[in-house]
Amino acid sequence: MLDYYNNKIFVDDRSSSILCGYPKEIADKEGLDFLKRVIIPTNQDWANQVNKVAFAFFFNYEEKRRMDLTLSYDLGVRTISGSKCVLLHKITPFKLCKNGNLWLGLCNVSEALYEDSKNEAYIVDTEQGKKYNFINGSFVLSKEEVLANKEKQILKLIAKGVTTAEIGKRLGVSETVLNRNKRKIFDKLGVDSSASAIYKAYMEKLI
């Protein structure tokens, strides 16, 4: 958990990736400044720019939709032993200040399968399925669509063997609307069947 208002970082004892081998007490003491300790210097300016632009994007987004946004990017870091690796960060709003700005962000961190940072960052509106890529210092709406929350929910229910009629009842939509949603899911994933959609979504960790 990242506390932007109080400049603190709260790390789950079971999650060690972000600590890069350092004792949790150091992260507790240094707060968000701890990230400066582990981020590779050549990545530092880029990371600062991404965060600055992301905060501006977030604050200028429609306030009632801000909690639907997630920020994802990779970072090159060095562990306490000096070894280099790349961490994937995904930050989801957890709590907003009274003025609607981001106070607490839930940060999910995992190790990348590649060795060097690709300097890729993007913001996703998880409810609308819109993606904004970080290009030339700003977040730009991508032509690539991602699965919206409702579409993910539909796929998960299909994967569990729930019938179309039952899914419609659970989500409060007609069978016609549901079939239209399924068609949109297929188009986004580039498939032509529910089985293929479920397989691809799981393989690409979309659900």
Q: In 103-115, which positions are buried (b, 16+ CB within 10 angstroms) versus exposed (e)?
A: bbbebebeeeeee
CATH superfamily, with its number, for domain 2-141: PAS domain (3.30.450.20)
User: What is the bridge-based pairing of β-strands 102-111 and 121-125?
Assistant: unpaired
Residues of the chain with CATH 1.10.10.10: 149-203
CATH level 3 topology of 149-203: Arc Repressor Mutant, subunit A (1.10.10)
| CB-facing half-sphere around the CA of 35: CA atoms within 13 A | 22
Each of the 207 residues of the chain gets a pLDDT tens digit; together they read: 999 999 999 987 666 788 999 999 999 999 999 999 999 998 999 999 999 999 999 999 999 999 999 999 999 999 999 999 999 999 999 999 988 999 999 999 988 888 888 999 999 999 888 999 999 999 999 988 788 989 999 999 999 999 988 998 898 888 888 989 899 899 888 889 999 989 888 877 777
Residues of the chain with CATH 3.30.450.20: 2-141
CA distance 11 to 43: 22
